[in-house]
Structure 1
Amino acid sequence: MNQKLAVAVMVVNQDHHVLLVKNHRRGWEFPGGFVEAGESIKDAGIREVKEESGIVIEVTNFLGVEQDVKRSTTVILLKGKAISGKISVSNETQDVGYFTLEEAKNIIKLDNFKDRMARCLKETEIPFFYVLKDTGSFYV
């Protein structure tokens, strides 16, 4: 199986609220997706946020790497800030919005996405490298 490369972006606004998108299957999460052939990781992050939320971002920081060995998937985590656009849903999302960290912790249902957000907020451990080796799995 070939390795798959993906990106997820923690977008934080001026009020320190985080942008989340609601996926049809996985629920609330950071916007993100797979990096396409010939595309940079940074450009993929910008594209995925725009596609899923309507927000145009500037990438401000590299946060870390998550590798799911069993699923042969590596996710690059970036931080971004909105520079334009208007929040809107897409064919990939049911809902989208900015949430306080407490609200985000309450609406994110999958433990691996809660853990991802916690890793991205732990400034003393950035950049991080997280490897998932067991049967559990995080999703892109």
Structure 2
Amino acid sequence: MNQQNQILLKKDPVRDWELPGGMVEPREKVEQAVVREVKEETGIDIEIIRFCGVSQEINKNICNFWWLGKVVGGALETSVESLEVGFFDLEEALDRIKDNNFKEELLQVLNQSNYPFFITFE
């Protein structure tokens, strides 16, 4: 999130609008992967504030670890993984995100009273 509490989203060529993220590389700490993926996909430098929770998509064999970060530098840039990037207020972010599971995950990340959360999707 930036200083205006806007949410950083990227437009993936396949999945449309989503939060930046990706895979952990061999011998890389999860926290390092979070910072690296955000930089690679958006051009933004972040500092991790806290761990938020985990979501599991059983039918896709995917587990996502959710972290909250704040912007500490960089500038918005597109990449092969990001056709567009930007900061959006919550309402606009939810309008842009088409995947209902992803919307639920974002709302869980923003609801600090549920930390750490665990959500399962079929």
TM-score > 0.5, shorter chain as reference: yes
Distance in 1 (CA, whole Å) between partners of 2:91 and 2:59 is: 31
Distance in 2 (CA, whole Å) between partners of 1:111 and 1:67 is: 14
Q: Which residue of 2 aligns with 1:23?
A: 12
Distance in 2 (CA, whole Å) between partners of 1:43 and 1:37 is: 11
Partner amino acid, structure 1, of 2:106 = M
Shift of 1:124: 1.1
* CA deviation map 1:9-30 (0-9, x unaligned): xxx1110100000000111111
- DSSP-derived class of the 2:45 partner: strand
Partner amino acid, structure 2, of 1:32 = G
Distance in 2 (CA, whole Å) between partners of 1:81 and 1:118 is: 17
Partner amino acid, structure 2, of 1:40 = K
Distance in 2 (CA, whole Å) between partners of 1:72 and 1:113 is: 15
* CA deviation map 1:88-113 (0-9, x unaligned): 00111100000000110111111111
Unmatched 5+ stretches in structure 2: none
Q: Which residue of 1 aligns with 2:64?
A: 75
> Which runs of at least 4 in structure 1 moved beyond 3 Å after TM superposition?
none
Q: Which residue of 1 aligns with 2:87?
A: 98
Shift of 1:126: 1.2
* TM-align CA RMSD: 1.0
Matched length: 122
Partner amino acid, structure 1, of 2:101 = N
Q: Which residue of 1 aligns with 2:109?
A: 120
- DSSP-derived class of the 1:34 partner: coil
Bigger share in helix: 2
Normalised by the length of structure 2, the TM-score is: 0.95
- Identical residues among aligned pairs (%): 41
Q: Which residue of 1 aligns with 2:55?
A: 66
Shift of 1:60: 0.6
Distance in 2 (CA, whole Å) between partners of 1:68 and 1:110 is: 13
Bigger share in strand: 1
